[in-house]
Amino acid sequence: MNFKRIADAGDLKGKTALVRVDFNVPMDKGLVTDDTRLRSAVETVQTLRTQGAKVALLAHFGRPKGKRVAEMSLAPIAGAFAQVLGSNVSFVADCVGDHVKAAIADLQPAGVILLENTRFHAGEETGDMDLAKRIAKLGDIYVNDAFSAAHRRHVSTAVLAELLPAYAGCAMERELDALEKALGNPEKPVLAVVGGAKVSSKIDLLKNLVTQVDMLAIGGGMANTFLAARGLSVGKSLCEHDLADTAREIETIAKQNGCKILLPVDLVVARDFAANAPHRTCGLDDVADDEMILDAGPQTVAALTAAMDSARTLVWNGPLGAFELTPFDTATVAAAKAAAARAKAGKLVAVAGGGDTVAALNHAGVADDFTFVSTAGGAFLEWMEGKPLPGVDALKA
């Protein structure tokens, strides 16, 4: 994938960069409770500042649906980002208009200003060209550093790239480079691990992956649906019995494409969905009617780590069991640690993404050892599904 980077932008001294960032951060009583997304924007902002550019930040917060909602103003985030950046960050209460242009003009070289929530304008989410033209007048170049919003064709995520010279920010660059290594042009064999509760939420993902990877390991609640489709009893486990035909179809597509599907070979079951509930490990044909499958067993973990040993690339989305509850986090933690150790040793390119996945890797204490962990959520999933991402396509060279 060839896309334009800040390094391709040439001389930026005296120019204004409109930079799309993801500042949709968790807040409590006006305070940012997790500044991960703020910190991820620092490298891009500092890169532009050192080249003498003014930086005008574009972002959304919440779902105001085209109206001004006081609780969804970005004003408190300007101060929080200033702390993270270690430098002053101005704020202006709109993202279009002469007063916004004047506020940007008043900035010193390398100055930073945060513009108000782009979603206060209804045209933002509809990709309105008139709004895009008004925002484009504020800057000389456009930089997208918000992969998490790249699956939307909004004004600030894609349409501005049609009006200004457009480049990927540093965080976006890292994301795209990692994704290219994972599925775009990976070193084979490729192993995908997909877990989570429901097949219904990941049908497109599974159907795409079995045409792209050499091995697909399925875990979590969705594995129960595949086991049931094979005629096995899953007791009172979370299971989408109505998707048995879909599961069998996915297995057929996998076989046609030479993709080996790995399902659990042993199970951890309990009668209650609760932390430290009495539990046992059993075979696939030994689940009682009043038991539920809450984790994969040790033989499954061993088979998965063996698959990791034979793979050169790993793409991971979703936990292998009810990892929020001890001890049903055992398989997820063990597999995560195995993948991390191989990645750290340079034996595996390990890329992971999705909210539950990030939480699981953090829980296992190994997120920093993976080759790359995406916090993008929806955009990461749509990329894995093989769907076009407007915000990425707009940056292609």
Q: Do residues 44 and 53 make contact, with C-beta atoms less than 8 angstroms apart?
A: no
Q: Which of 181, 198, 236, 260 is catalytic?
A: 198
CA–chain centroid gap for 294, Å, is: 25
Q: Residue 281's Cα: distance from chain center in Å?
A: 33
C-alpha pair distances (Å), 291 with each of 102, 234, 264, 279, 287: 66, 8, 16, 9, 6
What are the structure tokens assigned to 8, written together? 């391709």
- Residues in a beta bridge with 141: 17
State the residue for tokens 């919440």: 62
Q: For this structure, is 378 an active site residue?
A: yes
Measure the CA–CA gap between 396 and 176, rounded to whole angstroms. 11
Count helices and strands in the chain by DSSP H and E runs: 14, 17
Confirm whether 37 is a catalytic residue.
Answer: yes
**Are β-strands 292-296 and 266-270 bridged in parallel, bridged antiparallel, or unpaired?**
antiparallel
Strands 166-168 and 190-194: unpaired
Catalytic residue among 66, 235, 355, 386: 355
Compute the C-alpha angle 75/77/78, nearest 5°: 70
| CB contact at 8 A, 243 and 202 | no
Q: Which residue has the tokens 């989305």?
A: 317
Nearest partner of 81 among 166, 19, 143, judged by Cα: 19
Nearest alpha carbon to residue 354 among 308, 394, 315: 315
Residue in 66, 97, 235, 378 annotated catalytic:
378
- Contact status, residue 390 vs residue 150, Cβ threshold 8 Å: yes
CB 307 within 8 A of CB 217: yes
**CA proximity to 194, closest of 288, 90, 284, 264:** 264
The neighbour count for residue 371, using CB atoms within 10 Å, is 19
Catalytic residue among 20, 37, 54, 202: 37
Give the span between the Cα atoms of 317 and 45, in whole angstroms: 30
Q: Which amino acid is at 1?
A: M
User: Which residues are catalytically annotated?
Assistant: 37, 198, 355, 378
